[in-house]
Amino acid sequence: MRPAGKTACLFLLILISPVYAEPQPNPNGEDSPPNGLFFFEELFIFEELFSFGESLMNEETHSVEENFHNEEPFLSEEQFLSGETLPDEETLLAGETYLNGYNFFFEAPPLIFEVPVFEIRSLDAIFPNLSRSQRRTVFSNEGLRHSFAKDESPMIVPAPGLGIDLLGSVMRKDPSHLIEALVVVPYDERELDLLDIYNALGRIEKIKDHPASSRGNDLYIITESTRIESARNRRAISDPSPAVTLPFSETMYLRLKEINFGNLFIRADVSISMYGITYSMTNFADVRYFLVPIMRAERFTTIIYLEPVKEGILIYSMSGFYLPGFISDRVNLTPNINRRIEIFIKWITEGLRKQESTAVEQERDMA
């Protein structure tokens, strides 16, 4: 009996063969061989290939044929052509293939996934142009900060080609004044990762607990800090529980109540990259100073970039805001914005320490 697979292939070739099409006039004349002869030559070659394959199979499976010589095939030709499946699908899934009653075991090659491996960068690799005194200031509690106008140059410039262009993002808002800051929070008991940073940024309710320094005194500028549902629905909502996985991106809405500006409504956009997290805050409502509007919506932006480096957690920020000339001549907002940046840095630092201590406690409990 012919193998079922071979019969099926021959059957399909016969169906599509020109021999079984309607006869066409022979353009080559009576002495020229008909088109069907070429088909039978191909069929003969096809038959020889099957015969060659059968001879190899007979040599390798001679003992198997002796055991199954008098048995019926596992699938008949009619069952094969009708598309019936094998009775035991679990066996097929286990890696066994059946051909004319004989089972052959095959093992698929293992799948190999390549995970990108990168080395943690250092502060000097990201900011190679810092002087010794500037580098010492970066590791202080206040960090390195510098304010400048839009027509002036920044002092804290990351290495080109790293994709850390906070200045370019802030300048798209056309600010009149800018403030840059850089600080590194050293590791204490353990190294921190991006998930630790993300959870530290999620503790919005803790922003109000951090004061700014004013003439040697602690000044609590932000009296309330909470999340709100959206830009339209400003109902306060609680911070979620710490995350166990990182999102690719996230947008949240915040309300910060200040002693001078009243309610500040902020849109915070979080984006995750291979090396760090970018946290961008923009006012989606006008800012008022004692009920007088001094800054329109979308004219204040603070972008904070955080990355675990060899020395600790790097916090690099760039803030920009626009004030018309007649207001900036009367109200100097640079010290006020600078104090708020100080509050944000303290808030992030405290959140990182909280993540660090929580992780250490968990490791001790597991031990």
CA 249 to chain centre: 8
State which fold the 123-366 domain adopts: Alpha-D-Glucose-1,6-Bisphosphate; Chain A, domain 4 (3.30.530)
pLDDT range class, residue 93, cuts 50, 70, 90: very low
Domain positions in the chain? 4-21+32-105, 123-366
The kind and range of the H/E element at 179 are: strand 177-186
- Reported as a single tens digit per residue, the pLDDT across 127-179 is 999 999 999 999 998 899 999 999 999 999 999 999 999 999 999 999 999 99
Residues contacting residue 206 through CB under 8 Å, at least 6 positions apart = 225, 347, 350, 351
Lowest mean pLDDT among 71-80, 146-155, 329-338, 346-355: 71-80
Distances (CA, A) of 126 to 61, 134, 161, 174, 259: 65, 14, 10, 26, 37
pLDDT of residue 318 exceeding 60, the answer is: yes
In contact, 333 and 177? CB cutoff 8 Å: yes
pLDDT at residue 230, as a whole number:
96
Is the pLDDT higher at 63 or at 321?
321
Name the amino acid, one letter, at 70: N
DSSP-derived pairing of the beta strands 212-214 and 217-219: antiparallel
What pLDDT, on the 0 to 100 scale, is given for residue 9?
45
Smallest CA-to-CA distance from 354 within 223, 212, 188, 213 is with 188
pLDDT tens digits, residue range 250-300? 999 999 999 888 899 999 999 999 999 999 999 999 988 777 788 899 999
